[in-house]
Amino acid sequence: MTDAELRTMVSKTLTCRIDKRENCSEKMEQFLNRCFYHSGQYDSKENFVELDKKLKELEGGRVANRLYYLSIPPNIFIDAVKCASSSASSANGWTRVIVEKPFGRDSESSAALTRSLKRYLDEDQIFRIDHYLGKELVENLSVLRFSNLIFEPLWSRQYIRNVQFLFSEDFGTEGRGGYFDNYGIIRDIMQNHLLQILALFAMETPVSLDAEDIRNEKVKVLRSMRPLLLEDVVVGQYKSHTKGDVTYPAYTDDKTVPKDSLTPTFAAAALFIDNARWDGVPFLMKAGKALHTKRAEIRVQFRHVPGNLYNRNFGTDLDQATNELVIRVQPDEAIYLKINNKVPGLGMRLDRSNLNLHYAARYSKEIPDAYERLLLDAIEGERRLFIRSDELDAAWALFTPLLKELEERRINPEYYPYGSRGPVGAHYLAAKHNVRWGDMGSEQ
């Protein structure tokens, strides 16, 4: 590809979304003129020496920093890092590397990847990117809890009955099955995105907002967690389903997926944190593809009011009367709190209402994309939202025994129709821990 071809390609998706002030086209032109294409092999030292030469010409002797973004298959990470580190590091500024997930398939492969990376880079040069941590509402989680007096005292087993982390997509693998089949939904979503959000949610107050202080607290949460047992997990796989005139394919209809694949496209799990704050509180996770809706949210269900004066007004379903805090990460970002109130009128009829902070209504600004935030953080050396190697080890330690057991025993997933709410087993799992999924009611 020539430089001109690359610039044409980039210009098709380049926008001035976040800063709509004047000179947009001028700024875009300036940016495109600084985009260059250089071809070479990932494992060729000579090619990286050529790249270094080209970069030095462009840098013109100024203090220059280099950030390598490895959006490449994991099996060639190490080759690229080795060559970049030895032959194309910045001479007078910093050199950093962004690594895209997957960070291995289990504890062993993840540890091997970390060891290899650390042969050529220091820990503070490695930025493991998890785009979910860059989302606005995940960023707001700590602000909500630590800067609002009404929430921090309630953030414990005393007041919280259960916490749910829900992730669903309303489409299947759509031709990406080859990649997905090797990993499955637990590795793809739970072990990283949802577990990271859980750690941020459940951590103790850090000493400061410094990256290391926050990451220290997250590691403590992960290390306090009980190993996952098979009886606390439900796995599913979507099957084909006809709705009206449209037939939706099964997971195994994807040409890139083996016909006998047992890879889960859905999983639900109950996790427990064995520490003083969270002892006995079920943390439920649910993630799946080809479900009825696209969403990602955290639902905090509070305990029933003891000796509630209004019990008879609620009838038998006390769950309808409990407060719930919902943090909707996507789509349509919002934070809302479900409260009970009286319906206006002469009778005593109670109703549930939402105190709602709907982002689009409250803020006219466009919300930056998670990757934009994380790339800027990597350039500025802000590590709060990136995963440290001991965090990664602790996360894998939690999930690896379960993943091995699923694969060695060839556990059959429970099948669910494309576009449904997922396998029935997920309801039994929730009921076993005295929980009702928050996304199942008619009003959510």
Rounded distance between C-alpha atoms, residue 119 and residue 330, angstroms: 38
Question: Is the alpha carbon torsion for 5, 7, 11, 13 positive or negative?
Answer: positive
Rounded distance between C-alpha atoms, residue 105 and residue 343, angstroms: 53
Q: How confident is the model at residue 314 (pLDDT cuts 50, 70, 90)?
A: low
Rounded distance between C-alpha atoms, residue 28 and residue 288, angstroms: 38
Which position has the token pair 């500024």?
93
| DSSP assigned state of 242 | E
With a threshold of 0.85, does the pTM exceed it? yes
pLDDT at 79: 92
If DSSP states are collapsed to H, E and C, what string results for 288-354? Answer: ECCECCCEEEEEEEECCCCCCCCHHHHCCCHHHHCCEEEEEEECCCEEEEEEEEECCCCCCCEEEEE
Query: How many other CB atoms are there within 10 angstroms of residue 63's CB atom?
Result: 10
pLDDT at 21: 64
Rounded distance between C-alpha atoms, residue 266 and residue 331, angstroms: 20
Rounded distance between C-alpha atoms, residue 32 and residue 11, angstroms: 7
What's the CA angle centered on 21, arms 18 and 27, to 5 degrees?
A: 80
Task: From 192, 251, 180, select the one nearest 414 (Cα to Cα).
Answer: 251
Could you state, in order of their start, the residue ranges of all structural domains in the chain?
Answer: 3-130, 132-378+411-433
Query: How many other CB atoms are there within 10 angstroms of residue 51's CB atom?
Result: 19
Which position has the token pair 């990406």?
176
Rounded distance between C-alpha atoms, residue 115 and residue 113, angstroms: 5
Please tell me if the domain spanning 3-130 has the same topology as the one spanning 132-378+411-433.
no
Q: Kindly tell me the burial class for residue 21, based on how many C-beta atoms sit within 10 Å of its own C-beta (0-12, 13-18, 19 or more).
A: exposed
Per-residue pLDDT averaged across 405-409, rounded?
93
Condensed to tens digits (0 to 9), the pLDDT of residues 165-211 reads 999 999 888 777 778 888 889 988 999 889 999 999 999 999 998 88
Look over the chain and give the mean of its residue pLDDT values, rounded to a whole number. Answer: 87
Condensed to tens digits (0 to 9), the pLDDT of residues 360-380 reads 777 777 777 888 888 999 999
Encode burial over 127-156: b for 16+ CB neighbours within 10 A, e otherwise.
bbbbbbbbbbbbebbbebbeeeeeeeeebe
Condensed to tens digits (0 to 9), the pLDDT of residues 73-119 reads 888 889 999 999 999 999 889 999 999 887 888 899 889 989 999 99
Condensed to tens digits (0 to 9), the pLDDT of residues 11-55 reads 998 887 655 666 788 888 999 999 999 999 999 999 999 999 999
Residue 442 has pLDDT above 50, yes or no: no
Q: How far apart are the first and last CA of the chain?
A: 50
Which residues fall within 8 angstroms of residue 76, CB to CB, at 6 or more apart? Answer: 42, 43
Q: Kindly tell me the burial class for residue 366, based on how many C-beta atoms sit within 10 Å of its own C-beta (0-12, 13-18, 19 or more).
A: exposed
Which residues fall within 8 angstroms of residue 375, CB to CB, at 6 or more apart? Answer: 69, 98
Strand order in the sheet with 350-358: 350-358, 334-342, 324-330, 295-302, 160-168, 283-288, 266-271, 233-239, 414-417
pLDDT at 317: 60
Judge contact between 172 and 290, C-beta under 8 A: yes
Which residues fall within 8 angstroms of residue 365, CB to CB, at 6 or more apart? Answer: none
Which position has the token pair 């409260």?
339
Superfamily (CATH H level) for 3-130: NAD(P)-binding Rossmann-like Domain (3.40.50.720)
pLDDT at 324: 86
Residue type present at position 236 = G
Rounded distance between C-alpha atoms, residue 156 and residue 312, angstroms: 28
| DSSP assigned state of 162 | E
Give the active site residues: 193
Annotation: CATH topology of 132-378+411-433: Dihydrodipicolinate Reductase; domain 2 (3.30.360)
